[in-house]
Amino acid sequence: MVSDIKVSVIVPVYNVEQYLRKCLDSLVNQTLEDIEIIVVNDGTPDNSQVIIDEYVKNYPNKVYGYIKENGGLSDARNFGMQYAKGEYIAFVDSDDFVAVTMYEKLYNKAIEENAEIVVCAYFNVNANNNTMKSAQKGNLHIYDGSIHDHPEIIENNAPYAWNKLVKKELFDRTGILYPKGYIYEDICTMYPLLASANKISKVDEELYYYIVERKGSITSSFSKSKTLMLRSLELLDERFEELGLFDEFRDQIVVINLRHIYLRFKEFDKYKWRREQIKFVNQAFNLLNKHFKNWRKNSGSYIYFTLAEDRHIKRWFYKRRLYWLFVAMMPLKWIQDYRDWDYKKRHPGSDMKRYYIKMFETKKVVKNRVIFESFHGKNISDSPFEMMKELYKRGGYEIYVTSTESSWEKNKKLLEEEGLSKVKMVQLGVEKYFEILATAKYLVNNVSFPISFTKRPEQVYINTWHGTPLKTLGKNMKKGIESMFNIQHNFLQSSYLLFPNEYTKECTMKDYNLDKLFTYKTVIEGYPRNTVFSDKEKGLEVKKKLGLEDKKVYVYMPTWRGANSYGKMGIEDITENLEKLDAALDDNHLLYVNLHPNIGEAVDYSVYKFIKPFPEGVSNYEFVNASDALITDYSSIFFDYSITRKPIVLFMYDYDEYMDEHGTYFDARTLPFKQFFDIDSLCNAVSSEEILTYKYDDANEYFEKFIKYDGPDCTRKLVDLVFKGKEDGLIVEDYAKNREREWKISVLLEIKEKKEEYDEYVNSQDIENTIFVMNKKYFHALMNKWYYEEYNDKLTYIIFGYQRMLNEEDEKIYVAKDKSNNKQLEAVKKKARERAYARSLPNIKIINKDENRRII
């Protein structure tokens, strides 16, 4: 559904009736006409709603009011986003105000420069003495790309939401929401959004008026709750890990952590709670040690403290927590001074990338070393886990498995319960991880390794992926085609690509442009993770173990919808539906729910009698196998679960809207499972046990197309393939023929804003024999539309996210101002280009390499 609204401004309201009119007046008088103002009453106890009603009445096509129970600033912002129809989203605190030209200037800048985020300067306003101080002015030279081009954008940008305009599609693509119940929620939300944006631009004017000091305001008084900021920093670190950007921006992230921790230290003299001070210092150290093992050694991250009389503190003092407490208790005459960073000499990416290159160049591949990774280490599961268990039984291998720091204890417990005591966990993103990545003979992953990963000739890499697709993949996505770049790189480097059926292979090979560019082997065989569904006895054991043998157990696993343009993020719908389902259940009929992590915490299961989250102590698939019926929607879980032949229900209450927003490979309504399109019908089926009677045993065409290769022996055959080279009983196709074809490449060197310009560029090439190479940052929303509607079937292309794979010495030569030693410089540039080809187009014969000197 297309909207004419350009900007949606979301204004959470709580206890601000004295200031609300000034805020709303500055918004309703904006010079940008196509704007909507979404005012969210977050359960305010004052008379703000009277004012909201007045503005809704006086500006009926511009101001929209909503009322909700109090849930805090994050919850109110998320609530407002459900109703946002604008191309871009903005946030305003209801006791602040804005320049009447603010959103016209920000929006025009966004359109002119095709930026997903635009920032502006602002005034810090002291309402007690009517003074203003400018903030965030300058540094325009760094606002001409993404943070991959200018990592310093992160450190130079305040995390506030209110001086930024964010493209709604960026929220949709990343799934990032404001975390409910957090304070300092901007820290863990805006920085990851900045990191994910294709481009960040700036209007270098003060357009926002931020009330810093006002009698009685929360910003003018200190509270113990401010120390809860560490929780937001923890989520910040985790979100960068989930985005696969932690390694690249480790230096910047540690600076954010240190900066905000020390700012809390400076505030400690405002109260006398010494116990709280000690607690905070300990918690701060634990956080830094958890995510940044070598943070004290990172010279770029050190904060230098200077006394008023110019006496410097020795660096070794940082090792002592007692010193940090001492700093925390100093008066505010202490000042903070950051070491100047020479950004021109700083290498792109992180120290970890350089460490990986060092290992890549100096260490040999270890013959029997293996690394397994699933979902970027967030859990140990899926097909890599099943293959790891099989290999462990055979013995003779040095086995590593990836884990994030936040999942370490959970994953460690799982290995102990499974009897895998000799498996070594390695933390995602640390030096040891990159050493193993560079030296393991065998690599198994179900998503992707980091951007810097470049497979060595001796290494064997199987990518198992993680599901038969219903929603479109890769270049066939209506939005976010550019996000496929690292997955495409991983697929192209895989020694084996595993597909559970011909259908999945056809979709993947086509939509990641692998048909012509992949040069290794594909394998068609059932997923190792699905072997559990062939074991009925195991399902009964799990049910008994959990004390559910006398219960009818339903599992509900809906897909993540994102902040869709049709006004639903799923939270409100899910909670309303769960309330009705709870009323249809009883002691003998229970519903267990597994939601996407982005909304899982938003549901309070304690309010339900018969609805619970998935239990701990058993893997998700083992528990699903123990259930009596599955309720889902567009999630590919139904493909796997159908192996059991147990009842499946597709609850597609938003079918039309969802299909308008997302692409699918086929109409879900053609599937042989029972389908409901309204909650009342589903509740009736649940309460009457009708749901347990649904059969699809005669769906032979479906079984033949999707699950005919699944069975109990899949894991053994695939382990034999990867580790022994045995292809017996498997459908293997070798794509070595693609190594013989000659190609030219054409690297897009600039953004093409107009379709006519891009048509001219494309038509100037030999389309049939050219691989089009595009930097991720140039792939804007309009280009996504052009490709989706026209170019996908015409062009062979790859997308890359720029990273030079050079060691520290070579990097110094590459970026040095002195270019006199041309022979040495050219040798370094050639090395960088060849490694880029090995990562982005391995084994492809390019006949115009010398003409295209860009690193891809």
Helix H, strand E, coil C: the string for 518-569 is CCCEEEECCCHHHHHHHCHHHHHHHHHHCCCCCCEEEEEECCCCCCCCCCCC
**How many CB atoms neighbour CB 140 within 10 A?**
11
Query: Is 90 exceeded by the pLDDT of residue 352?
Result: no
Highest mean pLDDT among 282-286, 290-294, 626-630: 626-630
pLDDT-derived band at 412, boundaries 50, 70, 90 = very high
In this prediction, residues 444-458 reach a mean pLDDT of: 95
Which amino acid belongs to residue 533?
F
Tell me the domain boundaries of the chain. Answer: 1-220, 536-706, 740-851
Query: Is 90 exceeded by the pLDDT of residue 299?
Result: no
Of all residues in the chain, the percent with pLDDT exceeding 70 is: 85
Query: Is 90 exceeded by the pLDDT of residue 342?
Result: no
11 or 335, which is more confident? 11
pTM of the predicted protein model: 0.68
Query: Is 50 exceeded by the pLDDT of residue 842?
Result: yes
Average model confidence (pLDDT) across the chain: 85
- How much is the pLDDT for 602? 67
Highest mean pLDDT among 285-299, 370-384, 766-780: 370-384
For residue 697, what are the CA distances in angstroms to 645, 669, 691, 701, 834?
7, 18, 15, 11, 53
Fold annotation for 536-706: Rossmann fold (3.40.50)
Query: Is 70 exceeded by the pLDDT of residue 233?
Result: yes
- Residues 824-837, buried b or exposed e (16+ Cβ, 10 A)? ebeebbebbbebbb
d(C-alpha 38, C-alpha 13), whole Å? 10
For residue 783, what are the CA distances in angstroms to 114, 133, 164, 578, 755?
11, 41, 24, 40, 8
Query: Is 70 exceeded by the pLDDT of residue 758?
Result: yes
pLDDT-derived band at 802, boundaries 50, 70, 90 = low
Angle between helix 808-815 and helix 822-840 axes, rounded to 10 deg: 120
Of 261, 255, 315, 252, which Cα lies nearest the Cα of 283? 261
Helix %, strand %, coil % of the chain (to 5):
45, 20, 40
Of 195, 293, 166, 180, which Cα lies nearest the Cα of 231? 180
Least confident of 90-99, 228-237, 333-342, 365-374: 333-342
Q: Are 36 and 64 in contact (CB under 8 A)?
A: yes
Pairing of strands 731-734, 521-524: antiparallel
Query: Is 80 exceeded by the pLDDT of residue 19?
Result: yes
- How much is the pLDDT for 54? 96
818 burial (CB, 10 Å; 0-12 / 13-18 / 19+) is exposed
- How much is the pLDDT for 501? 98
- Six-digit token string for 574: 């899910």
In this prediction, residues 269-273 reach a mean pLDDT of: 50
- How much is the pLDDT for 287? 63
- Six-digit token string for 98: 């804005």
- Six-digit token string for 269: 């003299």
Of all residues in the chain, the percent with pLDDT exceeding 90 is: 58
CATH number of 1-220: 3.90.550.10
- How much is the pLDDT for 385? 95
For residue 91, what are the CA distances in angstroms to 27, 103, 171, 190?
11, 11, 13, 12
- How much is the pLDDT for 294? 52
- How much is the pLDDT for 247? 74
- Six-digit token string for 204: 């270098």
Highest mean pLDDT among 37-41, 282-286, 787-791: 37-41
pLDDT-derived band at 642, boundaries 50, 70, 90 = very high
318 or 652, which is more confident? 652
Least confident of 402-416, 701-715, 836-850: 402-416
Query: Is 80 exceeded by the pLDDT of residue 92?
Result: yes
- How much is the pLDDT for 237? 80
- How much is the pLDDT for 290? 60
Least confident of 68-72, 569-573, 670-674: 569-573
Query: Is 70 exceeded by the pLDDT of residue 343?
Result: no
DSSP state for residue 788 in the 8-state scheme: I
pLDDT tens-digit map of 525-545:
999 999 999 999 999 999 999
- How much is the pLDDT for 481? 87
- How much is the pLDDT for 280? 60
Least confident of 96-100, 206-210, 236-240, 273-277: 273-277
d(C-alpha 97, C-alpha 113), whole Å? 26
- Residues 332-361, buried b or exposed e (16+ Cβ, 10 A)? eeeeeeeeeeeeeeebbbbbbbbbbbbbbe
pLDDT-derived band at 262, boundaries 50, 70, 90 = low
pLDDT-derived band at 143, boundaries 50, 70, 90 = confident
Q: Are 422 and 404 in contact (CB under 8 A)?
A: no
- Six-digit token string for 625: 């196998």
- How much is the pLDDT for 2? 53
pLDDT-derived band at 716, boundaries 50, 70, 90 = very high
Q: Are 278 and 227 in contact (CB under 8 A)?
A: no
Query: Is 50 exceeded by the pLDDT of residue 309?
Result: no
pLDDT-derived band at 346, boundaries 50, 70, 90 = very low
d(C-alpha 9, C-alpha 7), whole Å? 6
In this prediction, residues 775-795 reach a mean pLDDT of: 87
- How much is the pLDDT for 820? 73
Within 19-162, residue ranges assigned H as helices are 20-28, 48-58, 73-81, 102-113, 152-156
